[in-house]
């Protein structure tokens, strides 16, 4: 399948998901920041007294209230780890392809609600920044970068990506941070970002990371550095990975941020729907 065909497939599939399966959930989960005046109307039983427009009430000799509507337009930023560890994956798909697909669903959901979408790609350094836009052409450019981009720096530095976000976006935005979170501690930078922005950690996991193939010894290669090592299969590896993910989850929860675990061997739509419903209920 050519790149053009692959992008077209993702466009059709994810646009359908954004339109039919996640319709309404995205909008209700992510609300605007503030209200703007819309109109006045006559007071009705049950209206709050504090919403009465006293100058208009005085002129009309009848009670009127101010109506406001939510300032809807949001900026959604996708912070995506493109380090070599995201190339890992089993028979289902790689972590990189899963990130591209989920990002496309979020991006199409955003522009269907007239929100803007931007992209920050990082590995050992921040390597690419695409300012927010809200057209289909813009989203397809974002998807193409996610599918084809190859990291130029080694390692994963989440702190630098979060610091970059803080420098280029002063206004509050919704930030989805995609990574396998195998990097060193990033809590300090994340907590600073979470004060101003709506931060959601998107942990991407492949089941092969939790269990080495059976055998006495297995040669493994670090995709970040290229180093190889001969190790014995470790029965406790799954428990260690689960503990690590739980620690990452608690890190996000302590700062009041969201957290989603995505797996290459599972359907991500129910996971997104559950998260969106939870956010909607919390905001009521």
| pLDDT at position 71 | 55
| pLDDT at position 7 | 80
| pLDDT at position 145 | 96
| pLDDT at position 229 | 46
Low-confidence residues in the chain, pLDDT < 50 = 216-219, 229-230
Judgement on whether residues 196 and 83 belong to the same structural domain of the protein = yes
Give the CATH number, domain containing residue 150: 3.40.50.410
| pLDDT at position 248 | 95
| pLDDT at position 230 | 45
pLDDT one-digit tens code per residue, 189-222: 999 999 999 999 999 998 877 665 555 444 455 5
Contacts 24+ apart (CB under 8 A), 135-144: 135/111, 136/111, 138/111, 139/104, 139/107, 139/108, 139/111, 140/7, 140/11, 142/78, 142/103, 142/104, 142/107, 142/117, 143/7, 143/10, 143/11, 143/100, 143/103, 143/104, 143/107, 144/3, 144/7
Judgement on whether residues 194 and 107 belong to the same structural domain of the protein = yes
Judgement on whether residues 17 and 88 belong to the same structural domain of the protein = yes
Judgement on whether residues 138 and 217 belong to the same structural domain of the protein = yes
Judgement on whether residues 79 and 66 belong to the same structural domain of the protein = no
How many structural domains compose the chain? 2
Judgement on whether residues 262 and 184 belong to the same structural domain of the protein = yes
Judgement on whether residues 212 and 78 belong to the same structural domain of the protein = yes
Number of other residues whose CB lies within 10 A of the CB of residue 165: 25
Judgement on whether residues 193 and 57 belong to the same structural domain of the protein = no
Judgement on whether residues 47 and 138 belong to the same structural domain of the protein = no
Judgement on whether residues 54 and 86 belong to the same structural domain of the protein = no
| pLDDT at position 267 | 93
Last residue of a domain, one of 17, 51, 70: 70
Is the pTM of the predicted complex or chain greater than 0.85? no
Judgement on whether residues 91 and 194 belong to the same structural domain of the protein = yes
Q: In terms of residue numbers, what domain contains 56?
A: 35-70
pLDDT one-digit tens code per residue, 69-82: 555 578 999 999 99
């Amino acid at each position: 399948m050519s790149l053009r065909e692959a992008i077209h497939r993702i466009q059709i599939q994810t646009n359908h998901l954004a339109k039919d399966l996640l319709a309404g959930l995205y909008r209700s989960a992510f609300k605007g920041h503030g209200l703007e005046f819309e109109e006045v109307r006559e007071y009705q039983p049950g209206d709050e007294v504090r919403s009465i427009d006293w100058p208009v009430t005085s002129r009309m000799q009848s009670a009127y209230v101010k109506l406001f509507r939510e300032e809807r337009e949001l900026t959604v930023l996708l912070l995506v780890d493109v380090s070599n560890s995201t190339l890992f994956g089993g028979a289902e798909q790689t972590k990189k392809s899963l990130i591209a697909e989920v990002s496309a669903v979020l991006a199409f959901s955003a522009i269907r609600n007239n929100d803007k979408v931007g992209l920050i790609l990082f590995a050992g350094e921040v390597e690419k920044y695409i300012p927010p836009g809200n057209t289909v052409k813009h989203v397809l450019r974002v998807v193409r970068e996610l599918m084809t981009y190859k990291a130029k720096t080694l390692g994963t530095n989440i702190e630098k990506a979060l610091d970059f976000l803080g420098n280029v976006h002063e206004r509050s935005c919704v930030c989805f941070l995609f990574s396998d979170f195998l990097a060193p501690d990033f809590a300090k930078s994340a907590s600073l970002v979470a004060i101003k922005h709506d931060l959601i950690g998107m942990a991407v996991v492949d089941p092969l990371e939790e269990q080495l193939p059976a055998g006495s010894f297995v040669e493994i290669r670090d995709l970040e550095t290229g180093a190889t090592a001969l190790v014995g299969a470790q029965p406790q590896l799954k428990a260690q990975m689960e503990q690590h993910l739980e620690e990452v989850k608690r890190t996000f929860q302590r700062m009041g941020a969201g957290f989603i675990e995505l797996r290459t061997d599972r359907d991500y739509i129910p996971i997104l729907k559950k998260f969106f419903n939870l956010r909607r209920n919390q905001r009521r």
